[in-house]
Homo-oligomer: A and B are copies of this chain.
Amino acid sequence: MTEKTTYNIAVVGATGAVGQKIIQLLEDKNFPINELKLLSSERSAGKKVQFKQNELTVEVAAPESFAGVDIAFFSAGGSVSKKLAPEAVKHGAVVVDNTSAYRMDDEVPLVVPEVNKSDIKSHKGIIANPNCSTIQMVAALKPLQDVYGIDRVIVSTYQAVSGAGEAANDELVKQTKQFIANEEMEAELLPVSGDKKHFPIAFNALPQIDVFQENGYTFEEMKMINETKKIMHAPQLAVSATCVRLPVFTSHAESIYIEVETEGLGVADLWKVLGNAEGVALEDDPSTQSYPTPLSAANKEDVFVGRVRKDLDNDKGFHMWVVSDNLMKGAAWNSIQIADSLIQNKWL
């Protein structure tokens, strides 16, 4: 039997913010594609999308769409994934799912390739892509955990509106224009589409991302807590999170406090490990004001780390500032990396 060298790829949610980034990366990285199928809801079907020399038409996603598909990228919301991902698997596709639908399912690997690539091997047809704010955090934590051990993580996030989709981008633009024109800002979407109240995001900061849970944490905060433990294979790791939405279009930033297991470390010890870590770019020199920002990290693949400092009271405490493009490493790029691992390791 001859081995395949090109693959049939489907992108579900092809017209969304993440879907668009996936298509762009498939082209930029020259992904080995035989046939590319772009799928969406009925509302977006019929739209034309340019891919290399071809103009492709977006089709309505249905169970039979996945016949002959090798890898299907899903980023059309949790309900679409719940309905169609099992159908794709029945038709023989491997699903890389960008929604939260299967992330905490024990049967589904939750993967950041730099952190737990080998978990992909045990997939049963679906591999989950973690939450954007989780991905960039674990990319920075895992190399430190491997060398020094980590007991505890406390994170406060600074998240971009694009994490809530294209409509949230549009809302920030609209409100910004209203504010500059001295008009009242209309809030119709954020913090959470479908929740009871909406607040302006322009020139503001909203301490709510996703809906509130019984315990007073938001679902976004619980995602960061639970997904981090699963990806890092560290159920005993203490993780706490406060998630905040900012008037920023692209890139999430995170102020992360960790307690390491090793005594007597200094900033240089953390720099050494982070500087050599796969997928991590160290950008940390106070003498030249070098640190990452949401704008500087946008459209890049890496997870950028700066402002590494030792806690002044706790020998095992360190602070750092971690920034990454939430649509790239936080979504599309991580998905492409998973697909690439499937192919390279013959885990399809």
**Which residues of A pack against B, CB within 8 Å?**
152, 154, 156, 158, 173, 176-177, 180, 191, 195-197, 199-200, 203-208, 212, 215-217, 225, 238-240, 242, 244, 246-249, 253, 255, 257, 267, 286-289, 291, 293-296, 306-314, 317, 319, 321
Count the copies: 2
A-B pairs with lowest CB-CB distance, top 7? A238-B313, A156-B156, A212-B286, A156-B255, A242-B255, A197-B289, A204-B295
Q: Which single residue of chain B is at the shortest CB-CB distance from A155?
A: B156
Residues of B within 8 A of A314 (CB): 238
Q: Which of B199, B206, B291, B312 contacts A207 (CB 8 A)?
A: B291
In the complex, 23 of the A-B residue pairs with CB atoms within 8 angstroms, ordered by the A residue number, are A156-B255, A173-B180, A191-B289, A199-B295, A200-B295, A204-B248, A204-B293, A204-B294, A205-B246, A205-B253, A205-B293, A205-B294, A207-B255, A207-B293, A207-B321, A212-B289, A216-B286, A240-B313, A242-B307, A242-B319, A244-B255, A246-B246, A247-B248
Given A177-B180, A212-B287, A289-B197: A312 in contact with B240 (beta carbons within 8 A): yes
- Secondary structure of the A contact surface, majority rule: mixed
CA distance A158 to B215 in the complex (A): 24
CA distance A120 to B217 in the complex (A): 40
> Are B207 and A289 in contact, CB atoms less than 8 angstroms apart?
no
> Are B257 and A205 in contact, CB atoms less than 8 angstroms apart?
no
Residues of B within 8 A of A246 (CB): 158, 205, 246-247
Known: A176-B180, A199-B295, A204-B294; 18 extra A-B contacts, CB below 8 A, are A156-B156, A156-B242, A200-B295, A204-B248, A205-B293, A205-B294, A206-B293, A207-B255, A207-B291, A207-B293, A212-B287, A215-B309, A216-B286, A216-B307, A238-B312, A238-B314, A246-B246, A257-B257
Residues of B within 8 A of A158 (CB): 158, 205, 244, 246
CA distance A31 to B176 in the complex (A): 37
Residues of B within 8 A of A317 (CB): 240
CA distance A178 to B302 in the complex (A): 28
Residues of B within 8 A of A286 (CB): 212, 216
Q: Which single residue of chain B is at the shortest CB-CB distance from A151?
A: B313
Given A156-B156, A180-B177, A313-B238: A207 in contact with B307 (beta carbons within 8 A): yes
